[in-house]
């Protein structure tokens, strides 16, 4: 069950937070190593590579979400 504070956040608010986060990530050094939060084939990661790590630069080039 969601808490009362979670119910007050709109889809638009969440979208804005995600956009802002991606803008910050894109400013990081392109060689910065990142590790997946979900594995390939998981419901949350249907298009995730099976690689154990990547870089910000690779993700900007290859990740449709970036």
Please give the sequence-ordered ranges of beta strands (E in DSSP) within 1-66, or none if there are none: 33-34, 54-55
CA separation for the pair 57, 32 (Å, rounded):
8
- Break the chain into its structural domains and give their ranges: 29-66
Which among 36, 35, 26 has a CA at the least distance from the CA of 57?
Answer: 26
Pairwise pLDDT comparison (54 vs 46), residue with the higher score: 54
CA separation for the pair 14, 27 (Å, rounded):
20
pLDDT tens per residue, range 9-40: 899 999 999 999 999 999 999 999 999 877 77
Only one residue has tokens 């392109």, namely 30
pTM for this structure?
0.68
């Amino acid at each position: 069950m969601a808490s009362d504070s979670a119910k007050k956040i709109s889809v638009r608010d969440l979208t804005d937070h995600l956009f802002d986060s991606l803008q910050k990530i894109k400013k990081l050094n392109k060689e910065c190593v990142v590790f997946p939060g979900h594995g390939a084939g998981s419901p949350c990661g249907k298009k995730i590579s099976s690689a154990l790590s990547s870089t910000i630069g690779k993700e900007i080039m290859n990740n449709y979400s970036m």
